[in-house]
């Protein structure tokens, strides 16, 4: 049984590595985006990225600006991306959250050129300003802020949709359940043997005496 388990684990691991699915990502950079015509760049109107691209005078930024479409809102920009005809260009933090929640539908390109941070803005003389500063400081000190960032914006949490998927090897821990089941059967057989020896040797009884009709 040990040999069968090891053989099954090896063949399963080998099969997993030989059947890896690979899907090429057609758009990885801005140059890839402007080099094709099936997917159009889409930018939320009035954003800093809209200004950056519109005011560019040359290079790939100008090429993107010549092809880009405008979206009224950020949610609308992201929603149109799901249809597969537009690529939403906006702040990285917003795209990271969307990609994490919809990794089977969209992915983030390799080229990142407009990274933004998460921030809150309120009037300088706001009466609640000191209280908000205090609460944010406490959230930072207790690790709540980092926990929220890791939950909603951590790049480690984004699944690699569409890219090559690498199969994890089946280690001893992964096949441990098979060994546990085998040991359970071995233990059951040993227990049966001990009961039979006790019945025949210690109690001097015939094995047929314990047959239940």
What tokens appear for 149 in the block?
């960032």
pLDDT tens-digit series, residues 29-58: 889 999 988 899 999 988 888 888 889 888
For the whole model, what pTM was predicted?
Answer: 0.51
Express each pLDDT in 60-117 by its tens digit.
889 999 999 999 988 889 888 888 889 999 888 778 888 888 877 888 888 877 666 6
Q: What is the pLDDT of residue 161?
A: 44
User: 195 vs 171, which has greater pLDDT?
Assistant: 195
The count of other CB atoms within 10 Å of the CB of residue 89 is 25
**Mean pLDDT (the chain, rounded):** 79
Asked if the model's pLDDT at residue 11 lies above 70, the reply is yes
Q: How far apart are CA 76 and CA 79, in angstroms?
A: 5
**Quick one: pLDDT at residue 191?**
92
Range 149-159 average pLDDT: 62
Pairing of strands 86-88, 40-44: parallel
pLDDT attached to residue 164: 45
Quick one: CA torsion of 43, 44, 50, 53, rounded to 10 degrees?
0
CA distance 88 to 41: 6
Non-local (6+) Cβ contacts of 162 within 8 A are 23, 25, 107
Would the pLDDT of 153 be above 70?
A: no
């Amino acid at each position: 049984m040990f040999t069968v388990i090891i053989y099954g684990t090896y063949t399963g691991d080998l099969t997993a590595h030989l059947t890896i699915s690979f899907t090429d990502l057609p758009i990885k950079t801005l140059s890839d985006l402007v080099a094709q015509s099936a997917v159009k760049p889409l930018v939320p109107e009035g954003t800093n990225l809209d200004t950056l691209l519109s005011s560019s005078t040359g290079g790939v930024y100008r090429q993107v600006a010549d092809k880009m479409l405008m979206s009224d809102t950020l949610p609308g920009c992201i929603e149109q991306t799901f249809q597969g005809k537009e690529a939403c260009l906006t702040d990285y933090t917003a795209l990271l959250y969307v990609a994490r929640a919809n990794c089977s539908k969209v992915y983030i390109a390799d080229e990142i050129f407009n990274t933004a941070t998460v921030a809150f803005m309120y009037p300088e003389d706001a009466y609640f300003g000191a209280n908000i500063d205090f609460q944010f400081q406490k959230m930072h000190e207790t690790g709540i802020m980092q926990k929220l960032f890791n939950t909603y914006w951590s790049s480690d949490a984004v699944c690699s949709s569409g890219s090559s998927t690498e199969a994890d090897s089946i280690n001893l821990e992964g096949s441990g359940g098979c060994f546990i089941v085998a040991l359970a059967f071995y233990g059951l057989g040993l227990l049966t043997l001990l009961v039979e020896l006790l019945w025949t040797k210690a109690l001097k009884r015939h094995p047929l005496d314990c047959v239940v009709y």
